[in-house]
Amino acid sequence: MRRNSRIVGTGSYLPPRRVTNVELAAELAALGVQTSDEWIVERTGIQARHFAAADVCSSDLALHAARQALQAADLAATDIDLIIVATSTPDMVFPSTACILQNKLGAHGCPAFDVQAVCSGFIYALSVADAMIKAGAASKALVVGAEVFSRLLDFKDRSTCVLFGDGAGAVVLQASKAPGILASDLHADGKHVGLLCVPGHVSGGEVLGRPLLTMDGQAVFKLAVGVLDAAARAVLERAGKLAADIDWLIPHQANRRIMQSTARKLKLPMDKVIVTVDQHGNTSAASIPLALDAGVRSGRVKTGELLLLEGVGGGFTWGAVLLNL
């Protein structure tokens, strides 16, 4: 019988400092940068985001989310035989945030590595864990998206600094007889590297280049709307399902208008879309597992339902995963 993989627990964590648009606008005004709650809500749907304290790293956020997911799965950290962390804001240049998380969890020996696909990172990580489980290389995987994107923001650039927040989400993916992950679809097109990037690197003890987020928002918006629809249709076709079969669309949380457009193309009403961008902002690789966990913990997303997860981001990267919870 074909080996499958199923999500058996979810968890998430947001750092305690919540910053509303009004508070952020006041802080930015002090820097001479003009924005408003009205503009941010109208153009993005974002009302607030969470920012981590200066001494808190991605692995700290990941640890909280991972512990919650393990608890939901009724597993101990030592039961886990694979750890993948999706992040673009690692604690260090190396070793991986996954290794740092493994040590904090006290689970030693299993393979642990990071996946770097920016806002598509969780979709990439989940697909890799699924493939490893199906190949028999792991049976209980911890898959985490964790970010401190606030560290990368240029607070003089109003077109980007109002969009992002910090947080982490996690799932435990376990080998199963019953189907869980039905299909995944991953893509990248490196010709768009410059559209969304942090063009800095470490060399000879110095940071070279500009280690702050830069984005051509309109170009990203247009590309995102097209590729997300294609990825959604690819996983539906691969799994022999129709858009009408989807119980929940759980997209990357970048902009409410992108989510509305994706839902409209699939003819899904917005009440079948989990939206957390209003309270979380864009948390990059953490946004999908954060939204999934919010859906599960609120009782809306239930075991057995058909979920379409999809992400898009820097690289340019994009992808989708269709699964039965």
For the annotated catalytic residues, the residue numbers are 119, 252, 282
8 Å CB contact between 262 and 249: yes
Phi and psi at 160, nearest 5°, equal -125, -35
* Cα separation, 89 vs 265, whole angstroms: 32
To ligand UT7, the closest distance from the beta carbon of 42 in angstroms equals 9
Contact 149, 213 (CB under 8 A): yes
The smaller minimum CB distance to ligand UT7, of residues 37 and 247, is found at 37
CB of 39 to ligand UT7, least distance (A): 4
Nearest by Cα to 297 from 65, 106, 28, 107: 65
Whose CA is closest to 115, among 280, 247, 284, 230? 284
**Smaller CB separation from ligand UT7, 33 or 131:** 33
Kindly tell me which of 5 and 282 has the beta carbon lying closer to ligand UT7.
Answer: 282
Q: Which is nearer to ligand UT7, 63 or 148 (CB)?
A: 148
Cα separation, 74 vs 150, in Å, equals: 33
Which residue lies nearest ligand UT7, judged by its C-beta?
217
- Cβ 9 to ligand UT7 shortest distance, Å: 26
Q: Is the Cβ of residue 21 or residue 68 nearer to ligand UT7 in the bound state?
A: 21
Closest separation in Å from C-beta 79 to ligand UT7: 33
In sequence order, the 6+-apart residues with CB closer than 8 A to the CB of 153 are: 160, 161, 164, 212, 213
CA distance 13 to 289: 10
Q: Residue 42 burial (CB < 10 Å; 0-12/13-18/19+)?
A: exposed
CB of 322 to ligand UT7, least distance (A): 21
Q: Which helix (H) or strand (E) holds 49?
A: strand 48-50
Looking at the Cβ atoms of 138 and 220, the one nearer to ligand UT7 is: 220
Using CA atoms, how far apart are residues 169 and 66, in angstroms rounded to an integer? 7
CB of 318 to ligand UT7, least distance (A): 10
Binding site for ligand UT7 (CB under 6 A): 35, 39-40, 43-44, 119, 158-159, 162, 196, 217-218, 220-221, 224, 254-255, 258, 282, 312-313
Q: What are the φ and ψ backbone dihedral angles of 295, each rounded to 5 degrees? A: -65, -45
